[in-house]
Every structure is written in structure tokens, then in C-alpha cells.
Amino acid sequence: MGLLKLRRLLVLRILGLLIGVTTAAGGSGNCGFPAVYNFGDSNSDTGGISAAFNAIQPPNGETFFRRPSGRACDGRLIVDFIAEKLKLPFLSAYLDSLGTNFRHGANFATGGSSICPGGYSPFHLGIQVSQFIQFKSRITDLFNRLHSNNRTSTSINRIARPQEFSKALYTFDIGQNDLAYGYQHSSEEQVRASIPDIINTFSEAVQQLYKEGARYFWVHNTGPIGCLPYSILYNKSPDNRDSNGCVESQNEVSREFNRQLKSRLLKLGKKLPLARIIHIDMYSAKYLLISKAKTQGFVKNPVKFCCGSYYGYHIDCGKREVVNGTVYGNPCKDPSRHISWDGIHYSEAANLWIANHILNGSFSDPPLPIDKACQAPRYA
């Protein structure tokens, strides 16, 4: 074979390999995720805890849905903006039996959930993953039976396609309650010492999903828990405040949790050869908003929240109490000016601001927008 022909052959082979890699990664365009499966707590719960226990009451939902929507918020959550960005419908809660549509994914998140068992909710991450595995098995069986019997039904339009589980995006927003529950029932030193076990449990969940065919992972780290009005109000020491008025020691534990989470995700990326894992620095995005609150149109005082009140104790959103002739618990007139909706959860306006800053890849590692998450490189 001549030298020129050999060179041409090598060039063609290299081009073929590059084209194959580009195609496998989703090319230069969007990934076109057909579905999203979400795991988390109240920060991304779209109705799970309401379906399982007591329904979330008004005025939750008043800004966008004009009624309670199962979300601990006046409107949309970040997971809703994720769906909008990917041009998918809002995710139905897995636990909700009415009006659900699982054609483009499902939401296993429930309010109060933690990564490890024994927190505020029985639906910890291990249970959520077990629910997904059962969901996947039953969907696959139902879909195959409907097709094998040549039966068509409107119900088939509301269930996932078995071949799309490996093409879907798997999102996580969980971990805040592991720390919060620890603060309420143990010392700060014990909370810090529990982090390795929490991270191990999270790692096991990701590996379980990988065995089930999950390949694309979008993982939020935990936010600055010391900046929640609830945390600030119950930690009154002025010596434990940062420049924004947040509880510095609690934020430091959040940062340590996030350091260990990111380290483990890097290891998982090397261990799971087909996985594409993107880590989202939610802490930095939320803290940036808190730091720039006034210039972004929000009230500067980090203790201020819109729904519910604090009168020596926390009056929950949706409840009213009269103290010395004053009614507490009514929502504020303009939720869009508040970062915090109810002292624990963010307002829709804050969620939108954060979503606009994380979904474009600005806080992602590797730095890819969510609609190109399938193009994340494999870890060496």
C-alpha cells in the first residue's frame, strides 16, 4: 500500500472514530432527553408528600398555579424550570394517583426526605430508588403486554417507554434534611462526623440506578443551610454570622458536605464507565443570590420571608395565629421580592433566578448546560 493511500486510510479511520464519539455523546446539538426522573426532598417535590400525607395548603401555589400544587412554594420549583428548559411537561409525583402522566418521567422526591433513613420522612433516598425500580419494572411489563396483545389505549400515552430509561436524565436535589435533622437532634460535631456515611449512602443509590440502566446524572449539591431564615432565627449568636447575616458554622458544614460529595462523584465517574455525571454547585448559586439580593430586586434582610411568621416560634405558612390582637401568618403582598417563601423554601422568583444561573452551565462541572448534559466526558 502506498504512503498516500495509507495516510488517507488513517484520516478516514480517525474521522470515523470522531463521528462515532460525537454521535454517542449527542453531537453538538441538544441531547433531547425524552424523560426526567427526579429524586429529592421538598426543594423538588411536586406533590409526593401531599399525596402521601396531608395536602399542602393555600397560599402555597398562589403565584403561578393559582392554587396549591403540592409544592412548598408560591409557584414553580427549580425542577419545574428544568422541565421547561428541556421542553418537557412538569413531572408528576410518583405517589400521586390522580391526574398523573408518566410519559416523560416521574418525580420520586417528597418533602422532608433525606439521603439516609431516620429523618423527617419515611421516603428516604433508598426508598425512592426502590420505588423507581418497581416503577420501571411495572411500566416495562405493562407496555409489553399492551403491544403484544395489539391493544391500543389512551393510557399508553401516559406511561414511559421502556427503551427510554437509559436515555433519560436522572436529577438529584437531596441532602439538606440530613444536615437539618442532625442539627435538631445532635451536635454540630456529630453532624460533620455523619457526612461520610451520608455520602456513602448517596453513592450506593447512584450505583443502583446505574445498574438499572441510568446513564445521565445531574446532581445538585446542598445549599447554604445557614442562610435559611429558620436557621438564622434559631441561632441567635452574633459571633456566628458571616457578612450576609448567615450562620457561618452551619454553612461551613454544608461546604464540607459538598466537598465530599464532589469528590465521590469524581470517583463514581471513574468507576461507572458509561455514566455521564454533572455536579451542580447549588451552594454557590444560592449564596450569590443572597449576596446580591438588593441589586437583584429582592429584600436584603436574609431573615425576611414571605409566608408564615416568627413570634418567638415559627408560625407555618398557611396557618394563622393572633398574638396580642395582631394576626400572624398571612402571606406578604409581593412574594417576588423575597428570596425565602416560608423561612425554609425559596420563592418562585428566587427559584427562577437560580435556575437561570445553573441551567446554562455556569455552575456545572463539567461546564455544560442541562440540555447538553449527555455530552459530559467520561472520567479518566
Q: Which amino acid, residue 301?
A: N
DSSP summary character for residue 337: G
H helices of 212-313, in order, are 229-233, 248-271, 282-291
Active site (annotated) includes residue 338: no
The C-alpha atoms of residue 135 and residue 130 are separated, in whole angstroms, by: 8
Beta-strand relationship, 276-280 and 314-315:
unpaired
Q: Kindly name the residue from 74, 173, 345, 364 that is annotated as catalytic.
A: 345
Residue 362 three-state SS: coil
DSSP secondary structure, 44-84, as one string? S-SSHHHHHSSPPPTTTTTTTTSS--S-SSSS--HHHHHHH
Catalytic residue among 41, 42, 178, 231: 42
342, 347, 364, 371: the catalytic one is 342
Q: Check whether the bond before 58 is cis (ω within 30° of 0).
A: no
**Would residue 124 show up in a list of annotated catalytic residues for this protein?**
no
User: Grid coordinates in use for 4?
Assistant: 498516500
Q: Respond yes or no: is residue 345 known to be catalytic.
A: yes
User: 126 near 202, Cβ under 8 Å?
Assistant: no
Q: Which residues are catalytic, by number?
A: 42, 342, 345
